[in-house]
Amino acid sequence: MKHGKKYLESAKLVDRATLYDPAEALDLAVKTSSAKFDETVEIHVRLGVDSRHADQQVRGAVVLPNGTGKKVRVAVFAKGDAADAAAAAGAEIVGAEDLVAKIQGKGFLDFDVAIAAPNMMGLVGRLGKVLGPRGLMPSPKAGTVTPDVAKAVEEAKAGKIEYRLDKTNIIHCPIGKVSFGAEKLQENYKTLLDAINKAKPAASKGQYIKSCVVATTMGPGVRINPAKAVIAE
């Protein structure tokens, strides 16, 4: 893969053979950002589990203390009082059968997070093939199927992110923007890694965090020492 001049200049700051402490890695990620826009900082964590087994799934959600820096558009499947509460909490899109029909018929997907009241899951279940592959399907584990839809909307707006293993046993998550600076990014990083660490399945044997890399949208990857990935109190 051919990289541009700015990327190559940034890459010189990173020693590919070094495993950095989280604080150093995040500081480097900020320093290597060279794009004209405010790049997203992402974390990629490979775990010592096998996602093909149900008892080795790692999935959950966590509210980042400093948010993600992204304006989140929220869709809520609800009726009556729950729909009113969701709208009052700031949800951009609220509906029931009408919203399901719009997604099914017109391919409407202009939202980043979908939340559903439990009594709507019979309807929302029909959208599994559309929402599932895009990571938009509401789920109780992620706290997006809940009777308290207003609270779920507020959390999504505040910077709640979902983490889950992909087929290669890696979790990919945004932890903020370069403009946050290293300190705020470290607070978000710590919150996410603590949550992933606590979600370790009982069936996981041996080393749990195999590798951890932080990178900006356009920047080089910075490798974090997996033994120090979880920041001690």
Query: What confidence tens digit (pLDDT) does each residue in 174-208 have?
Result: 999 999 999 999 999 999 999 999 999 998 888 99
* Span of 6-15, 32-41, 51-60 with lowest mean pLDDT: 6-15
In the predicted model, what is the mean pLDDT of residues 39-68?
A: 92
Q: What is the pLDDT of residue 185?
A: 95
172 with 147, same domain: the answer is no
Query: Which of helix, strand or coil describes residue 25?
Result: helix
In the predicted model, what is the mean pLDDT of residues 6-33?
A: 79
21 with 62, same domain: the answer is yes
221 with 176, same domain: the answer is yes
Domain that holds residue 98: 74-157
- Residue ending a domain, among 137, 157, 177, is 157
Range 171-175 contact pairs with CB under 8 angstroms and sequence separation of 24 or more? 171/43, 171/44, 171/45, 171/47, 171/58, 171/196, 172/42, 172/43, 172/44, 173/42, 173/43, 173/45, 174/40, 174/41, 174/42, 174/43, 174/68, 174/70, 175/41, 175/42, 175/43, 175/64, 175/68, 175/214
Q: What is the pLDDT of residue 7?
A: 56
**Longest alpha-carbon distance in the chain:** 58
55 with 89, same domain: the answer is no
* 54: confidence class by pLDDT, cuts 50, 70, 90: confident
Q: What is the pLDDT of residue 156?
A: 92
| Model confidence at 15: pLDDT above 80 | no
Q: What is the DSSP track for 196-232?
A: HHHT--TT--S-SEEEEEEEESSSPPEEE-GGGSSPP
The rounded distance, in Å, linking the Cα atoms of 88 and 97 is 20
59 with 172, same domain: the answer is yes
Here the CATH number for the domain that contains residue 13 is 3.30.190.20
Here the CATH number for the domain that contains residue 126 is 3.40.50.790
Residue 226's identity, in one-letter code, is P
Quick one: angle between helices 182-198 and 22-31, nearest 10? 130
Per-residue DSSP letter, 159: T
186 with 198, same domain: the answer is yes
Q: Chain-wide mean pLDDT for the chain?
A: 90
How many domains are there within the chain?
A: 2
pTM over 0.75: yes
Give per-residue pLDDT as tens, 99-137.
999 999 899 999 999 999 999 999 999 999 999 888 899
| Model confidence at 72: pLDDT above 80 | yes
Quick one: angle between helices 149-158 and 80-88, nearest 10? 20
| Model confidence at 210: pLDDT above 90 | yes
